[in-house]
Chain A
Amino acid sequence: MKKYTYTEKKDTRSGFGAGLLEAGRKNENIVALCADLIGSLKMGDFQKEFPDRFVQVGIAEANMIGIAAGMTIGGKIPFTGTFANFSTGRVYDQIRQSVAYSDKNVKICASHAGLTLGEDGATHQILEDIGMMKMLPGMTVINPCDYNQTKAATLAIAEHEGPVYLRFGRPVIPVFTPADQKFEIGKAWMVNEGTDVTIIATGHLVWEAILAGEKLAEEGINAEIINIHTIKPLDEEAILNSVKKTGCIVTCEEHNRYGGLGESVAQLLATQLPTPQEFIAVNDTFGESGTPADLMKKYGLDSSNIIEATKKVMKRK
């Protein structure tokens, strides 16, 4: 089993900020728009270096999405930045008509996704965003697992033609993927090969899955762990190949169980290779105020829940 360690913890939103700056240096067509959350989205460095390519729209997310769609006409590649809630639910129709249906090359970059923005509570803790975005035809949906992967994903989507939803967050989490990684959209990332169970995770739950895998190994359970950073298009081949070997699967995400990664995997397996599956996800409820760690525990998203689900699903083989 591959051992994962880390030397520092960072927030994924800072990975986005660093990636945006680097992408902006590489391609002068990249522009950025923000709805009064420059600090929270870590867009300040881009704004400072490229003031003429940065648009502060104020607290007006619908207008931001429309402006971004319009800016593509003439060759710009707009990156919009606000919280995940205001990046999706608040502007769903604007994204649907002006971006997705119009096939505009807009990158919707969303921070503070899920429960772990913490103390702000349920008004800001969107758990439905992946579902909304993956339902839009032509939309690519990406949820990287740590700082380095978020930075790499930001650079990758800059070179990808078409609308993208990039989801990241506020909590400070271990940085365990390589700084020099090449991010391939739609390509699953093998964390650890195993034979007894497939654990696939997205976002920072990949780290929880790694912790769970270490504990399971101590009990003699050999888990295959896969990082699904791209929820759409889903790497169907990687998932099918893994469950052919293991015969059962646990999906892990910081999202409602409806509409998320687990649901996409269930649809794949139901049609291609019916397989027992357990879901680590929020059980169709809103969140609440609290620390990220307390919320992960209360809503059943940490490594102990993954271990429990693994044992359960293995019995169903």
Chain B
Amino acid sequence: MTTEISDLEKMASQVRRDIIKMVYECQSGHPGGSLGCADYLVALYFRVMKHNPEFNMDGAGEDLFFLSNGHISPVFYSVLARAGYFDVAELKTFRKLNSRLQGHPTTHEHLPGIRIASGSLGQGMSVAIGAALTKKINKDNGIVFSLHGDGELQEGQNWEAAMFAPFNKVDNLICTVDVNGQQIDGPTSKVLDLMNLEAKFLAFGWDVMHTDGNNMKELVATLEEAKSKTGNGKPIMILMKTEMGKGVDFMEGSHKWHGIAPNAEQLAEAFTQLEETFGDF
């Protein structure tokens, strides 16, 4: 799929509107991290990944994506719907009773596009490694992508996975950490400092890249470069700098919007800042 950067930016604006509206309508959810990662997920699903919205669990021959920090489900759901996995109108059921759009993503309700439940943090890197190993055994050229929060790296299982992947040459894997520097109780630097993530992953044996996750052109270039580096014996780790709440000025850069919903006035204010490009749900 070749989509111009300007088209991707337009889609990201619509996805951000979706996120705000979804969280507003159920008065719960996690807008901050979702807004910050909108560009990344749009880049993956509308440009970088080879994937089929006619979903099947095994995804043979496709690139796969796993969301480890499941609380940013609004951005995942919006992008899946906009990419054709399910009807955009279903976004209005988010977090409501009898919905396939659970608070955190799950396979349990058979929502197309979801391949694993996430929400309890720190499990996605292991799952992504497993899917990548199966692709290797099956001689499937697809690449496995995954996204992780920076605060999430405080969970120990990540480091078990981080040790495993380079030693076992899982080189069809591109993990990305959303480095927004925020977590529920405050800045990561104050809660439990992650210190030098680049040095940590380099020491574990990863190929480490950096990108600005809110600059579509740079982000796409980084992801394309990462793809070109697969198959070289090392897993790839992209440290992606983003701003929590990106796109809505009063939400930007603060952990305060990690897990709360806007009121009607804030929704209206946010909508004035985000262009409606593909029609609201």
On whether the beta carbons of A93 and B156 are closer than 8 Å, the reply is no
Contact (Cβ within 8 A) B157 A63: yes
Residues of chain A from 58 to 116 with CB closer than 8 A to chain B in the complex: 58, 60, 62-76, 78, 93-94, 96-98, 101-104
Q: How far is the CB of A147 from chain B (nearest CB, A)?
A: 30
Chain B residue at smallest Cβ distance from A62: B157
- Does B255 make an interface contact (CB < 8 A)? no
Q: What chain A residues lie within 8 Å of B123 (beta carbons)? A: 62, 66, 93-94, 97-98
Please, how many angstroms separate the alpha-carbon atoms of A108 and B126 in the complex?
16
Evaluate contact between B137 and A76: CB separation under 8 angstroms.
Answer: yes
Query: Assuming the A-B contacts A75-B58, A102-B108, are A63 and B137 also in contact, with contact meaning beta carbons closer than 8 angstroms in the complex?
Result: no
B106 close to A71 (CB less than 8 A) = no
Smallest CB separation, B205 vs chain A (Å)? 14
* Minimal Cβ-Cβ distance residue in B for A52: B137
A58 to B163, CA, bound (A): 10
Q: Which residue from chain B places its CB closest to the CB of A70 in the assembled complex?
A: B130
Q: Give the CA-CA distance A97 to B108 in the complex, in Å.
A: 10
Is the beta-carbon distance between A74 and B156 smaller than 8 angstroms?
A: no
B interface residues, how many (CB within 8 angstroms): 39
Q: Are B164 and A94 in contact (CB under 8 A)?
A: no
Q: A55 CA to B140 CA in the complex, in Å?
A: 18
B133 contacts partner chain A, Cβ-Cβ < 8 Å: yes
Of A52, A66, A70, A93, most buried by chain B (CB within 10 Å of CB) is A70
Within the assembled complex, what's the spacing in Å between the Cα atoms of A10 and B96?
54
- Contact indicator B107/A70 (Cβ below 8 Å): no
Does B127 sit at the interface, judged by CB under 8 A?
yes
Q: Does A312 contact B (CB under 8 A)?
A: no
A 24-63 binary contact with B (CB < 8 Å = 1; else 0)? 0000000100000000000000000000110101101011
Contact residues, B103-123 vs A (CB, 8 A):
106-108, 115-120, 122-123
Return chain B residues, CB-CB under 8 Å to A104.
116
- Interface flags for B53-96 (1: CB within 8 Å of A; 0: not) read 00001111000101000000000000000000000000000000
Chain A residues in 8 Å Cβ range of B138: 74-75
Contact yes or no, B117 A73, CB < 8 A: no
Instruction: Assess whether B59 is in contact with A60, with CB atoms less than 8 Å apart.
Output: no
B129 close to A97 (CB less than 8 A): no
A73 touches B164 (CB 8 A): no
Contacts of B127 in A (CB 8 A): 66-67, 69-70, 98
Quick one: which of A53, A97, A101 has the most chain B CB within 10 A? A97
Among A58, A62, A64, A71, the residue within 8 A (CB) of B156 is A62
CB closest residue in chain B, given A55 = B133
Ordered by A's residue number, 18 sampled pairs between the chains whose C-beta atoms are within 8 Å are A58-B164, A63-B126, A63-B164, A66-B161, A67-B129, A67-B133, A70-B116, A70-B127, A70-B129, A71-B131, A72-B130, A73-B64, A74-B131, A76-B137, A78-B130, A93-B123, A96-B120, A103-B107
Q: Knowing that A58-B163, A65-B126, A97-B119 touch, tell me 7 more A-B residue pairs with CB under 8 angstroms.
A: A31-B137, A57-B160, A62-B122, A74-B131, A74-B137, A94-B157, A98-B126
Q: Which residues of B contact A (CB under 8 A)?
A: 57-60, 64, 66, 106-108, 115-120, 122-135, 137-138, 140, 156-157, 160-161, 163-164, 168
